[in-house]
Amino acid sequence: MEAMKQYIEDAEKALLHTYNRYQIVLDRGEGVYLYDIEGKKYLDFASGIAVFALGYHNEAYNEALKMQIDKLIHTSNYYYNVPAVEAAKKLKKVSGMDRVFFTNSGAEAVEGAIKAARKYAYLKDGRTDHEIIAMEHSFHGRTMGALSVTGNPKYREAFEPMIGNIKFAQMNNFDSVKELVTEKTCAILFETVQGEGGIYPAEKKFMEQIKALCEERDILLILDEIQCGMGRTGTMYAWQRYGVKPDIMTTAKALGCGIPVGAFLMTEYVAKRSLTSGDHGTTYGGNPLAAAAVNKVLDLFEENHIIENVNAVAPYLEEQLDLLAETCNFIEGRRGTGLMQGLVCKGAVGEVINKALDNGLILISAGTNVIRLVPPLVITKKNVDEMIGILKKCLQA
Ligand SMILES: *Cc1c(COP(=O)(O)O)cnc(C)c1O
Domain residue ranges of the chain, discontinuous segments joined by +: 2-54+305-396, 60-303
The helix (run of H) or strand (run of E) holding residue 11 is: helix 2-14
How many A from CA of 251 to the centre of ligand 1? 9
How many A from CA of 278 to the centre of ligand 1? 25
* Atom from ligand 1 closest to the CA of residue 110: 10
* Atom from ligand 1 closest to the CA of residue 142: 9
Asked if pLDDT for residue 314 goes beyond 80, the answer is yes
How many A from CA of 138 to the centre of ligand 1? 10
Taking the domain 60-303, which CATH number applies?
3.40.640.10
Q: What is the C-alpha to C-alpha distance for residues 255 and 31, in angstroms, rounded to an integer?
A: 18
pTM equals: 0.98
Q: Say what the alpha-carbon torsion angle 297, 26, 373, 18 is, to the nearest 10 degrees.
A: -100
Taking the domain 2-54+305-396, which CATH number applies?
3.90.1150.10
How many A from CA of 362 to the centre of ligand 1? 20
* Atom from ligand 1 closest to the CA of residue 194: 13
Q: Ligand 1: residues whose CB is within 6 Å?
A: 105-107, 110, 139-141, 191, 195-196, 224, 226-227, 252-253
How many A from CA of 114 to the centre of ligand 1? 14
pLDDT value of position 2:
83
Mean pLDDT of 326-347: 97
Asked if pLDDT for residue 1 goes beyond 80, the answer is no
The helix (run of H) or strand (run of E) holding residue 334 is: strand 331-337
DSSP states along 125-188: H--S--EEEEETT----SSHHHHHT-S-HHHHGGG-S-SS-EEEE-TT-HHHHHTT--TTEEEE
How many A from CA of 139 to the centre of ligand 1? 7
pLDDT category of residue 397 using cuts at 50, 70 and 90: confident
Mutate to test the pocket of ligand 1, among 140, 143, 150 (most ligand atoms within 8 A of CB): 140
pLDDT digits (tens, 9 = 90+) for 70-80: 999 999 999 99
In 2-158, beta strands by DSSP E: 26-30, 33-36, 41-44, 99-103, 131-135
Asked if pLDDT for residue 133 goes beyond 80, the answer is yes
pLDDT digits (tens, 9 = 90+) for 297-306: 999 999 999 9
pLDDT digits (tens, 9 = 90+) for 176-224: 999 999 999 999 999 999 999 999 999 999 999 999 999 999 999 999 9
